Structure formats: structure tokens, C-alpha cells
Chain A
Amino acid sequence: GAVVSQHPSRVICKSGTSVKIECRSLDFQATTMFWYRQFPKQSLMLMATSNEGSKATYEQGVEKDKFLINHASLTLSTLTVTSAHPEDSSFYICSAKDISGYNEQFFGPGTRLTVL
């Protein structure tokens, strides 16, 4: 149980295009999902908290118009990197908190984004 999928696992795009990443909880409901970014040799950095049915809350320094988050159902959150630039190239990973769980978060396998 507690499986989170993420799609795509890897994407290469041209500068200026937008990329959508999906995060799904496969066998549980998640009212809250989190999006993280990891640069090489650094720790996972929280970008935003995604709440089902309401607007996402963004961490300081994260542009909400650049990283659009939608959490339309209890099992799906999407992150869209708009007008991507090479500096957006990174590893993006999501986690989901079980609606009934105590404090645990379950992670997807991540998405490697490369912007040319």
C-alpha cells in the first residue's frame, strides 16, 4: 500500500515551453500533496503545498506563476512549469499525505526535467 506514482519520469523540453508533471496516490486518498525540487548534491527543498480543492501555498522564493499547481482530486496533483528555462532544469519529486495517516508522507519516484 501507500504507492505514489509520478509521470513522466524524465522529460526534455525546449526553452520557453511548458511542462506538466503528474503526481498520483494510487491506493489512498491524499488531501495534501507536497512538491519538492532537488539540485545536484543538495537536499530536497519544499516548493509548495498542494491542497485538494483549494489554492496551493508556496514557499518563500518560489514563483507561483511559474510553477502552477492544481490539486483537482484526492488522488491527483499536477505541477506545470511554465515557460521553462535552462535554470529550471532539476529533479522534481512529490509526496502525499494519507488523509487518515499520522504524519507520514509517501513519495513518488521523481521527474528529471532538462530544459535545453
Chain B
Amino acid sequence: ILNVEQSPQSLHVQEGDSTNFTCSFPSSNFYALHWYRWETAKSPEALFVMTLNGDEKKKGRISATLNTKEGYSYLYIKGSQPEDSATYLCAFGKGDYKLSFGAGTTVTVRA
């Protein structure tokens, strides 16, 4: 079992504020780092797949960075909106396509 940790476990953000949270993962045998957004009663939605050290990806107001040498990734939400409320999962992938998930960071955006 690979140790993938996300922090914080949950956070509350005021609408309009920006926030970020962390995923840490093993720095050896790295293949890919996945970010998913998971709303209640829906399927986890793929946000990013990151493979290269130094990668930065952006989708609307959400962006992510990757440091494979030290084993961490940050997810940023700029100008949070109520619809950003969800649990954000990261998953560490090896070359066999199997994913090891963190427990998630639950974001609640207050209007």
C-alpha cells in the first residue's frame, strides 16, 4: 500500500477567496499524479493527470503543480465559488495504471 496523504482533511473558504491544499506521495517509482473532483452522489471527475516534474496545469479557476523529486502536488482554487464545494482526491499512479488514493480534501465554499 502506497502512502498518499492529503492535507488538510477539510477546509472552509469564503466565496471569492482563493485556497490551496496538498497531496504528498512517494517520490520513487513515479509515473503519474491524478487529481479528481468528487461531488456528493456523482462520479469523481478527472481534473488533471500530471506526469512531469515541474508540471503546471490549469482548468478554469483550478490549477495544480507537481514536484516529483520531493513528492508533493498542490491544487489551487482561485476566487472560490459555491460550485467548487466538493471533495478533491489525488491519486498516485505507477506504470501498471493502478492508482493509490489519498483520503481527500473536502472544500466547503460559504456564500
Contact = CB atoms under 8 A, between A and B. Distances in A.
B77 interface: no
Contacts of B51: 103
Q: Is the interface of A mostly helix, strand, loop or mixed?
A: strand
A75 interface: no
A67 interface: no
B111 interface: no
B98 A34 contact: yes
A97 B42 CA distance: 18
Interface string A24-53: 000000001010100001111110010000
Interface residues of A, number: 24
Nearest to A6: B43
A25 to B, nearest CB: 12
A61 to B, nearest CB: 9
B34 A105 contact: yes
Nearest to A108: B43
A97 B98 CA distance: 10
Given A4-B43, A105-B34, A107-B43, A49 B98 contact: yes
Interface stretch (B12-20, B54-62, B64-72, B100-108): B100-108
Contacts of A105: 34, 46, 97, 99
B103 A41 contact: yes
Nearest to A106: B46
A8 interface: no
A43 B43 contact: no
Q: Which 8 A-B pairs have the closest CB atoms?
A: A44-B101, A43-B103, A107-B44, A43-B101, A109-B43, A107-B43, A103-B32, A103-B49
6 contacts: A2-B46, A32-B97, A44-B101, A105-B97, A106-B46, A107-B36
